[in-house]
Chain A
Amino acid sequence: MTAHAIDLTDVRFRWRDDKPPVIDIPALTIARGEKVLIRGPSGGGKTTLLNLLGGVAAPERGNIRVLDTDIVPLRTAQRDRFRADNIGFIFQMFNLVPYLSLIENVLLPCRFSVSRRRAAAETASTLEQAAARLLSQMALDVTGLDRRPVTELSTGQQQRVAAARALIGSPPLIIADEPTSALDADTRHAFIDLLFREVEQAGATLLFVSHDADLAQHFERSIALADINRGTPT
């Protein structure tokens, strides 16, 4: 086991053959346990990079090692399983499935990943309790909120539910895609503090993507996507 959570070598991706590549990254490594911010404007290839890391998109060439697994040669189903087991995602907004309850939303990854279901079950006597504990650690009052539809939660609350979902079953890698851009300044900092605390406690790696350079103050390492990516932004 190397110390790398993410290791990209010479990765190139383009949407269509007649278009220039959007992603052309000669090298990017992120160590295990690191909390890294990748900065870049919208349309700069951030989303594409995340789809590549999640194994939802496949590069034209290059190596993508995530947690020491070379995910490029994997079959699609294997990549999907790898993602389910190892990566927790948080997105910009509308992270929740509207027809599921608070707890059910948090437990969604456990439906698709046996290892995360097992890991979550070890932290409490039931899966529901594991979810409830994570939610309360994210400063959410489960008993008060669980009866209401999740769509009635505030954006800040929704993002904390999404964070709890990313953390359930302790995946080694958390990828956050602009999770704070819909939040106001106060909630934003509070959210990042909570997220950091939980990520550290889980010993996970955090890859945080944002256009907001202000957030760099929170991170030990901050990378501008433009510096590592030679691809042409769309």
Chain B
Amino acid sequence: MTPLLSLSCRSLLNRRGTVGLTVFAIAVSVMLVLGVERLRHDAKSSFANTISGTDLIVGARSGTIQLLLYSVFRIGNATNNIAWKSYRDIAAQPEIAWTVPLSLGDSHHGFRVMGTTADYFRHYRYGRKQPLRFAAGVAFEDVFDAILGADAAKALGYELGDAIVVSHGLGQTGFARHEDKPFKVVGILAKTGTPVDRTVHVSLAGIEAIHIDWRSGSRVPGMTTDADTVRQMDLQPKAITAFLVGTKSRFAAFRLQRTINEYPREPLLAVLPGVALQELWDLMGTAEAALSAISMFVVAAGLLGMMTMLLSGLNERRREIAILRSVGARPAHVFGMLVLEAAFISLGGALVGLVMLYAGLLVAQPLIDVQYGLFLSIGLPTARDLTLLGVIFFAGVLVGAVPGYRAYRHSLADGMIVRT
């Protein structure tokens, strides 16, 4: 093959225009495949890191995924509540280290309002067990204090001390607003890249307080208890939507899960967050696989483009090949030369694609982080990346066998002299 290496190189350089475009086309497809791979991987790990450090999520009995969606992702609604008494009863179990109650159902300009306790900011963990940090302000003390997630604060332009009015229910339009009892922004959380960023946190007592004059979802006419009066009242809620549980030991979580699922006084569901997240992710597996498949097809298209380029070049290269034959090249050499050219193009495409991927990541990383809260990693190529590159390279070499064989046939038919 040695007499061919430099010949192939020189021949490619001679056609640097078309060859360059072909390399670029393959590079784009390589970048796409590796980019999708990375996005998949990072999205999955970011997704799996939405909640960590919590051993159980407990809600009214429904589906695992539904519970996960409304309690962690703030999507959809609970079908039922948990009675306060049940919550306290379970929270008193000896294996439990801490619990955080959650009360959902209201919203503020499209952002979910969640009632909870100051324990939430103490115990909630995301990513690699990172705690929530305050970008400004402190956790709530007063009934009508509110703490905003980073995105909610940014999107609505709120600063500390601003007053916000919570809407009843989840609609954007505020025909049922709790305008008589506004909340005051006392804290803004640092960005986490999780649904926490899009949440307005208020105290559990606050949720109870704004609903004090309400019965079954609407205001009771004539009842107007003002905020100061409310503060003096007993604001212990009668029900919550869900609660998070931290156990003293990992093994306790399984036992506790069974206990809760068999809780006699009301139908409850306890899920292990990791298991539920995996289940939810698997649900999206089809879309993920489709994305991968599409990017692989783009690679196939790139390689087919290379084959077309090499094939269409063969006709004008018949004379060149005949010259090589006359100076002693065997038909096998001719075949080898074309395959080598395909190998060089594929290799070039793979390397340029890799460079483009990193350039793209450097540019896109901050944008995607800000826009979607997804932090893309810019590490060395993973073993999987390298395997993919290898597969693409070998596919390119295989594809090169097609023009190689055609040239081989030509060289047998033409011999040393091309009749024109």
Q: Does A69 contact B (CB under 8 A)?
A: no
Complex Cα gap A56–B330 (Å)? 10
Tell me the smallest distance from the CB of B289 to a CB of chain A, in Å.
44
B417 touches A112 (CB 8 A): no
Complex Cα gap A96–B330 (Å)? 18
Residues of B within 8 A of A (CB): 3, 7, 10-11, 13-14, 319-320, 323-333, 415-417, 419
A80 touches B330 (CB 8 A): yes
A108 touches B327 (CB 8 A): yes
Chain A residues lying within 8 Å of B3, measured Cβ to Cβ, are 111-112
Tell me the smallest distance from the CB of A59 to a CB of chain B, in Å.
14
Interface of B is mostly: helix
Q: Does A77 contact B (CB under 8 A)?
A: yes
**Contact partner of A47 among B11, B333, B419, CB < 8 A?**
B419
Complex Cα gap A53–B320 (Å)? 21
Chain A residues lying within 8 Å of B327, measured Cβ to Cβ, are 84, 89, 108-109, 111-112, 165
Most chain A beta carbons < 10 A, residue from B327, B331, B333, B415 = B327
* B325: nearest chain-A partner, CB-CB: A56
A177 touches B417 (CB 8 A): yes
Chain A residues lying within 8 Å of B13, measured Cβ to Cβ, are 99
Chain A residues lying within 8 Å of B11, measured Cβ to Cβ, are 99
Tell me the smallest distance from the CB of B224 to a CB of chain A, in Å.
90
Complex Cα gap A111–B14 (Å)? 19
A47 touches B329 (CB 8 A): no
A76 touches B330 (CB 8 A): yes
* B10: nearest chain-A partner, CB-CB: A99
A54 touches B326 (CB 8 A): yes
Chain A residues lying within 8 Å of B325, measured Cβ to Cβ, are 56, 80
Complex Cα gap A162–B334 (Å)? 21
26 contacts between A and B (CB under 8 A): A54-B415, A56-B415, A57-B415, A76-B330, A76-B331, A80-B325, A80-B331, A81-B328, A83-B326, A83-B328, A85-B328, A89-B416, A91-B326, A91-B417, A96-B323, A98-B14, A98-B320, A99-B10, A100-B7, A109-B327, A109-B328, A111-B7, A111-B328, A112-B3, A112-B327, A113-B328
Chain B residues lying within 8 Å of A100, measured Cβ to Cβ, are 7, 10
The 8 closest A-B pairs by CB, nearest first: A84-B328, A99-B14, A112-B328, A56-B415, A111-B3, A80-B330, A89-B326, A109-B327
How many of chain A's residues have a CB under 8 angstroms from any CB in B? 30
Q: Does A126 contact B (CB under 8 A)?
A: no
Tell me the smallest distance from the CB of B10 to a CB of chain A, in Å.
5
B415 touches A97 (CB 8 A): no
Chain A residues lying within 8 Å of B326, measured Cβ to Cβ, are 54, 83, 89, 91
Complex Cα gap A165–B14 (Å)? 21
Tell me the smallest distance from the CB of B19 to a CB of chain A, in Å.
12
**Contact partner of A80 among B10, B323, B329, CB < 8 A?**
B329
Chain B residues lying within 8 Å of A51, measured Cβ to Cβ, are 415-417
**Contact partner of B332 among A77, A85, A91, CB < 8 A?**
A77
A95 touches B330 (CB 8 A): no
Chain B residues lying within 8 Å of A112, measured Cβ to Cβ, are 3, 327-329, 333
Complex Cα gap A40–B324 (Å)? 26
Q: Does A50 contact B (CB under 8 A)?
A: yes
A47 touches B320 (CB 8 A): no
Tell me the smallest distance from the CB of B412 to a CB of chain A, in Å.
8
B331 touches A91 (CB 8 A): no
Chain B residues lying within 8 Å of A165, measured Cβ to Cβ, are 327
A91 touches B416 (CB 8 A): yes
A108 touches B417 (CB 8 A): no
Q: Does A94 contact B (CB under 8 A)?
A: yes
Tell me the smallest distance from the CB of A134 to a CB of chain B, in Å.
14
Complex Cα gap A96–B11 (Å)? 13
Chain A residues lying within 8 Å of B331, measured Cβ to Cβ, are 76, 80
